[in-house]
Amino acid sequence: MFSFFLLTVPSVYRVYSQSVPGKDENIPFLVTFGKESKTSWGDDDHFQIFFFSIPRDFKEQIYIRIFDPDTGGENDEIQGEFNTSCLFSVYGGEGVDPDKNEDSKGLLQGVNFKKGNLLVSKIFASESRYDNTYYTFGPFNPTEGDLNEKWNAYIFKIVCEGITGDDGNLYKYFLSRKSSTDLPIEGANSFTYDYTFRMWNDFKSVAHIYPYIDTGIVSIKQRNFDWDDDGTIIVVSKYKQGISVPISKDDEWAESKILIEPPEEGSSLDFQFHKKEGTLIKNNNVVMTLQNQRGEALEFFSSPIGGVPVYQAKIVVRPLTPKK
């Protein structure tokens, strides 16, 4: 897994953006609910994990910025009154790299997804000074991350947990070279295995998430949660013009198997979330996970590996004119 990273990706595709959600995803916010919330609000597990990868040759200090870390005021989803606290924690060192530590992915109930060294953490409640603005963790030296030799990159992990309350915390991340502005790091990226996000409150905006299909993958199992029967989820790739997958209703999972064709190996898929016309389903939060045929979780990258996949109509070979 991951041999592609920085090695086989042409320089034109080297990613240069570390906003989470990424700019091609068209997702307004990540979302994590307080642990006393019902899963029917759209968060099945009340925590979310993201990883950042920093190229090994990058020697400067880095910062992880959180936009709107509080749960209150602007952006957040209130239930009754705001009474939610979220713990944000940054981990580095041995144990973080999900290639070497399956538990680090945070997919299995009851396992310790907090593997690694805790570098810093902070609890945010409803606090106006952290409302609709950034809080910055860092600086960190890249070498404080967990070195992944195959990717030639240092890995950091950030966990958001809804430790009290029942409201939804909406927030975003940015991996930056500076503490006070968003300044990206060339070749860095971010990813998760269990994506919980908010849709825009309109009909026209389509959200996208981009899993990478490594060589040897022949099929994947998609699972989506609490889509609220809100329109369609379709998969586009350079080989798929758009296939729709089973969608979940309120507070339930839907899953299906999707076959992968050889031309799709070594590229990203585009999972598109199209809302239903008619009555607007407001504040739709949704969860998505993928596994390959061996049961291994797939990463969703904030900047799609190889770029956004574009369907390529099959080339029609014209038969030769028979000789007379």
> Does 283 help bind Ca ion (rule: CB under 5 A)?
no
The footprint of Ca ion on residues 95-154 (CB under 5 A) is: 131
- Between 86 and 185, whose beta carbon lies closer to Ca ion? 86
Tokens of 153: 């990159």
Burial of 97 (0-12, 13-18, 19+ CB in 10 A): buried
The CB-of-270 to Ca ion minimum distance in angstroms stands at: 21
> Does 44 help bind Ca ion (rule: CB under 5 A)?
no
> Does 285 help bind Ca ion (rule: CB under 5 A)?
yes
Contact between 258 and 219 under an 8 Å Cβ cutoff? The reply is yes
> Residue 262's CB: how many other CB atoms inside 10 A?
9
The CB-of-6 to Ca ion minimum distance in angstroms stands at: 33
Contact between 41 and 33 under an 8 Å Cβ cutoff? The reply is yes
Indicate which single residue of 17, 19, 37, 169 sits in contact with Ca ion (rule: CB under 5 A). 169
- Between 28 and 307, whose beta carbon lies closer to Ca ion? 28
| Residue reference for tokens 């642990």 | 35
In this structure, the dihedral spanned by the alpha carbons of residues 38, 44, 46 and 47, taken in order and rounded to 10 degrees, is -170
The CB-of-178 to Ca ion minimum distance in angstroms stands at: 22
- Between 50 and 171, whose beta carbon lies closer to Ca ion? 171
CA distances 15 to 20, 29, 200, 251, Å, are 13, 21, 25, 35
> Does 226 help bind Ca ion (rule: CB under 5 A)?
yes
The footprint of Ca ion on residues 67-86 (CB under 5 A) is: 68, 70, 73-76, 79-80, 83
> Residue 177's CB: how many other CB atoms inside 10 A?
18
The CB-of-76 to Ca ion minimum distance in angstroms stands at: 4
Tokens of 40: 């029917």
Sign of CA dihedral 178, 182, 185, 191: positive
Phi, psi at residue 13, to the nearest 5°? -95, 0
Task: Pick the piece of the chain touching Ca ion (CB under 5 A) from 18-26, 106-114, 115-123, 220-228.
Answer: 220-228
> Does 42 help bind Ca ion (rule: CB under 5 A)?
yes
Contact between 173 and 179 under an 8 Å Cβ cutoff? The reply is no
- In the shown chain, the binding pattern of residues 231 to 270 toward Ca ion, with x for contact by CB under 5 A and - for none, equals ----------------------------------------
Indicate which single residue of 19, 32, 53, 284 sits in contact with Ca ion (rule: CB under 5 A). 284
- Which of 172, 189, 168 lies closest to 286, judged by CA? 168
**Site for Ca ion, rule CB under 5 A:** 42, 68, 70, 73-76, 79-80, 83, 131, 166-167, 169-171, 226, 228, 284-285
